[in-house]
Chain A
């Protein structure tokens, strides 16, 4: 949509260019940096280890095959990988749900696990956790249902027994609060100098 806030991440640009040039070390570096996030997210969404491994593989191979689809000027690499992971996992879930009746459960995401030695990911997770915990619970519920269960806003409305308009507005206000909290915590991709509205 528009250029990522807080400027382009030079390291993401470097990795994307190296991937375009067929540099396998760059793929290994991306994997080592982001595999816990990608795998953990796929596992949280699908609840299935085998599916999570397959999805993680698809996500990294897709990046390797078509690195030019990732534009570092639009988003951070981590965000882009999460977006692709979510889409794949939600496709998997939707295929499943046509077979079994699916009842959304309100579940808080499990804490990041087994990544203590991955200092960067562990510290990012702790900061995001703090920002999420500070959200009003109504906003938090709507966001977590949509993000981790792949629900549409209509499904979120049904799950929380609220009007659809309320579900939409909770998603928007909740994400704005989350963005503001993360920006205040120093996440420069969410920094905002002037808001036009």
Chain B
């Protein structure tokens, strides 16, 4: 509350833009600190704007084309291929933001997954997103934004805008991925990772709030698994556990697929001339639900908790799963 008298007499005029500029400033300044006047001003303005429907009138049919063309000229629409990668990310950003927007002040202090409080979690996600945003030269509009949530959201929105207007060629641009080891990959993969990390942190928060978790759609989960599996052979080498042979990974449940994954990125010399076919039998088979495998990738489920069934070479399968569990962004 401020010490100023409540400018109640002006609230009606303010709601319909019928005040002088100095009066507008007086009301806005007061309302910034006075929830009661702010609430009344909002309600009166909302009521006033309903008057706008009274005079609804169908515009000439030509106006629709004119508006859409002018819009396209002012800011290019994204191409469908870009939309396929961007929509899942945009959905996770929106879902996480909705969770954050609903937090009470004391809920911001909740310990969440690997973070002491929600603020640290969001700051961490902002830093991960910044790897891609910086590599694309994206400037978040409100770099000076004081609020943790707004700063994250402004950067995510700026990233979405940039990719949306960039076209399919931008998707091939090499950018940094988040994670333990520095890796540069095409933007199209980085967007899958952004979707992945944003979802995992939204679920972290849901868990702290005792809400049910909400996995992305099965086809998006399958995309996350494929993204990680492409990195896995190199990661197994980096962990010093590379070996010849492959693991057959059977991902079950909606969106489930089978993958043959090499246990090393080092090419295995062909034993017989010209025989480029992969070996018939994998050294081990791992069967696990797709959604659990994604949570394992994020380091949110241990190998044991994932309930993975292992057949064949148990050592190879365990190495495979243990390294997979390090591919998250934390």
Do they bind each other?
Answer: yes
Flag whether A162 is at the interface (Cβ < 8 A).
no
Question: Are A44 and B38 touching (Cβ within 8 A)?
Answer: no
- B-side interface residues, number (CB < 8 Å): 68
Q: Across the interface, do B67 and A60 meet the contact criterion of CB distance under 8 Å?
A: yes
CB of B57 within 8 A of CB of A43, answer yes
Contact status B75-A128, CB under 8 Å: no
Residues of chain B contacted by A44 (CB below 8 angstroms): 55, 57
- Name A152's contact: one of B12, B19, B94 (CB within 8 Å): B19
Q: If A2-B39, A179-B46, A182-B47 touch, does A21 touch B83 (CB 8 Å cutoff)?
A: yes
B38 with A132: CB separation less than 8 A: no
Pair A53/B13 contact, Cβ less than 8 Å: no
The smallest C-beta distance from A111 to any residue of chain B, in angstroms, reads 8
**Residue on B with the closest CB to A14?**
B94
Inter-chain contact B45/A83, CB cutoff 8 Å: yes
Give complex CA distance A71, B95 in Å.
Answer: 16
For A22, list chain B residues within 8 Å (CB).
75-78, 82, 86, 160-161, 164-165
On whether the beta carbons of B56 and A82 are closer than 8 Å, the reply is no
With both beta carbons as reference points, the residue of chain A lying nearest to B64 in the complex is identified as A31
Q: Is the CB of B75 within 8 A of A65?
A: yes
Knowing A13-B94, A18-B90, A79-B46 are in contact, say whether A174-B64 is a contact too (CB < 8 A). Answer: no
A143 and B16 in contact, given A21-B83, A37-B53, A114-B58 (Cβ under 8 angstroms): yes
CB pair B57–A112 under 8 Å, yes or no, is yes
CA distance A13 to B161 in the complex (A): 16
Measured in the bound complex, the distance between the Cα atoms of B64 and A27 in whole Å is 10
Q: Which of A3, A83, A167 contacts B49 (CB 8 A)?
A: A83
Q: Interface SS of chain A: helix, strand, loop or mixed? A: helix
Residues B18 and A36 in contact, CB atoms below 8 Å apart: no
Cβ-based interface call for A24 (8 A) = yes
Q: Does B270 contact A (CB under 8 A)?
A: no
A190 vs B41: C-alpha distance when bound (angstroms): 12
Residues facing B in A143-197 (CB within 8 A) are: 143-144, 146-148, 150-154, 156, 165, 167-176, 178-179, 182, 187, 189-190, 192, 196-197
B interface with A by C-beta (< 8 Å): 8-13, 15-20, 28, 31, 35-36, 38-60, 63-64, 66-68, 70-72, 74-78, 82-83, 86-87, 90, 93-94, 98, 101, 141, 154, 157, 160-161, 164-165
7 residue pairs, one from A and one from B, having the closest CB atoms: A22-B164, A172-B12, A171-B12, A82-B52, A40-B57, A24-B77, A179-B47
Chain A interfacial positions (CB closer than 8 Å to B): 1-5, 8, 13-14, 17-18, 20-24, 27-28, 31-32, 35-41, 43-44, 52-53, 56-57, 60-61, 64-65, 68, 73-76, 78-83, 85-87, 90, 109-115, 118, 121-122, 124-125, 128-129, 132, 143-144, 146-148, 150-154, 156, 165, 167-176, 178-179, 182, 187, 189-190, 192, 196-197
